[in-house]
Amino acid sequence: MTTAGAGKGPLKGVRVLDLTSVLMGPYTTQIFADLGADVIKVESPTGDTTRFLPPGPADDCSAMFMNVNRGKRSLVLDLKQPAARDALVRMASQADVFIHSMRAKAIARLGLAYADLKLANPNIIYANLYGYGRDGPYADYPAYDDIVQAASGIVDLQAALSGGEPTYLATVVADKVAGLTAAYAVIAALFDRERSECGQEIEVPMFETLASFSMVEHLCGAMFDPPIGPTGYARALSPERKPYRTRDGHIAVMIYNDRHWKNFFDAIGNPEWSQDPIFSSLRMRTQNISKVLGHLGAVLAQRTTAEWMELFEKAQCPAMPVRSIDDLIEDPHLASVGFWHHCETPDGSIRMPGVPVRFSETPGMAGRPGPRLGADSRDVLDEAGFSESEIEELLRPIEKDQAG
């Protein structure tokens, strides 16, 4: 029997019932599995939709699914059937965490709301992951990453850097930020339970989470009532804030504090530029950010990327060449720190990002790639104490349909 969560990770011994799908929730529970929890991915007979996103070694097992669901076990239940719903409640009585990504009304219709599971297990940590907080007027709106990027102001912020045209970030930032938020929220609740011996319900809405995320630096003058200035962090919104063109490519440079600027001016042989009022302090540089960055861009165009990297290393100024996603696969630093996790599977050799954080005593690890649909159903139900006849009753109709 293959059991996930058997490593030394700090969440070893924690059992998670995972009813999430797509990316936000599965990213949360990937973190739990990486850190040693036993994550049981409960899927409908049709499976998580990300199973079918190409590319992948099989139609129902995509690269994205295999990565974000690594280290988990797959249990298939048709929760529209009362016996399956009752079986899940029975399993919840033995679990530490129950996490789902359905809208509030949908999970309530299944009889799997917090009030239902709390009766079976008062100590359970119950996490709701959905688009919008259930007390607001958007509560029943469907939500995906693009929609929440637009609603949260991120898309409009991007317009400042793209000639006024609203654009999405080229990564599913809402899903992943909300997923990380859910991970720390559940872990915090588990920590509290150790002291209070009480479970609790958690709500992680994507919209509120990303609004909070974007307002960290962009609330600015509107933090005060009445406002003392506009919203928007000037440096981040300057159209001159971009990778700089060099003679043979592009480079990212962050000359930020007074020491950085002095070192830079000295390194290029123009120490007198420090006397220019727009470079004199962080406040003045921020107030004149487009002029400052535009001037820097003109200077950087005069040398090659390699020449600038050598100069910035000596001047102790933060800089890196612009790299592609493909470059990361062969990146020497990532290779030296063991970032990439390799394993052999029936589908061939697999490469996945490893666990990016390190624990001196309880190291996590990337588990096996995401499982085939229902691969662990019988083992999971057997461990939960279901009899052979009960397992047959739950799984035979599903397995018959899948075989047909």
Question: pLDDT (tens digit, 9 = 90+) per residue, 2-51?
Answer: 344 456 899 999 999 999 999 999 999 999 999 999 999 999 999 999 99
Asked if residue 131 belongs to a domain, the reply is yes
Are 150 and 30 members of one domain?
Answer: yes
| Parallel, antiparallel or unpaired: strands 15-19 and 97-100 | parallel
Q: Do the domain assignments include residue 367? A: yes
Instruction: Clarify whether residues 189 and 250 are in a common domain.
Output: no
Question: Is residue 236 one of the residues assigned to a domain?
Answer: no
Q: Are residues 367 and 307 in the same domain?
A: no
Residues 52 and 172 in one domain: yes
Do 287 and 202 lie in one domain? The reply is no
Number of domains in the chain: 2
Q: Residues 356, 339: contact at Cβ < 8 Å?
A: yes
- Under the banding of pLDDT at 50, 70 and 90, the label for residue 404 is low
Between CA 367 and CA 352 the distance in angstroms is 10
User: Which of 261, 296, 321 is the last residue before a domain boundary?
Assistant: 321
Mean pLDDT in residue range 368-379? 96
Q: Are 109 and 25 in the same domain?
A: yes
- Give the end of a domain, one of 260, 292, 321: 321
Give which of 340, 343, 365 is closest to 37, Cα–Cα: 365
SS3 state of residue 16:
strand
Alpha helices in 223-324 (DSSP H): 234-237, 258-267, 282-287, 289-300, 305-315
What are the pLDDT digits (tens) for 289-341?
999 999 999 999 999 999 999 999 999 999 999 999 999 999 999 999 999 99
Instruction: Judge residue 119's burial from the number of C-beta atoms within 10 Å of its C-beta, 0-12 exposed, 13-18 middle, 19 or more buried.
Output: exposed
- Asked if residue 185 and residue 249 are part of one domain, the reply reads no
Q: What's the rounded Cα separation, in Å, for the pair 56 and 271?
A: 56
Question: 2 lies in a domain?
Answer: no
Residue 161 backbone zone (phi > 0: left; psi -120 to 50: alpha; other: beta): alpha
| Residues 6 or more apart whose Cβ sits within 8 Å of residue 141 | 131, 132
Put residue 71 in one of left, alpha, beta given phi > 0 → left and psi -120 to 50 → alpha. left
- Indicate the average pLDDT of the chain: 94
Please indicate, yes or no, whether residues 110 and 152 belong to a single structural domain of this protein.
yes
Residues 381 and 304 in one domain: no
The 10s digit of each residue's pLDDT in 107-159 is 999 999 999 999 999 999 999 999 999 999 999 999 999 999 999 999 999 99
Q: Which residue has the tokens 């799997």?
A: 112
Specify whether 39 is located in the same domain as 151: yes
Of 292, 321, 350, the one marking the end of a domain is 321
Q: How far apart are the C-alpha atoms of 146 and 144, rounded to whole Å?
A: 6
Asked whether the bond before 277 is cis by omega within 30 degrees of 0, the reply is: no
Please check whether residue 284 lies inside any domain of the structure: yes
pLDDT of residue 101: 97
Q: Do 172 and 31 share a structural domain?
A: yes
Closest alpha carbon to 24 in 109, 159, 200, 147: 147
Residues 317 and 389 in one domain: no
Residue 351, in any domain of the structure: no
Q: What is the mean pLDDT of residues 266-284?
A: 89
250-264 confidence digits (pLDDT tens): 999 999 999 999 999
Report the 10 Å Cβ neighbour count for 380.
25
For residue 89, the enclosing domain spans 15-213+358-403
Average pLDDT of the segment spanning 67-88: 97
Question: Residue 360: its pLDDT value, please?
Answer: 94
Is 218 a domain residue?
A: no
Band (192; pLDDT cuts 50, 70, 90): very high
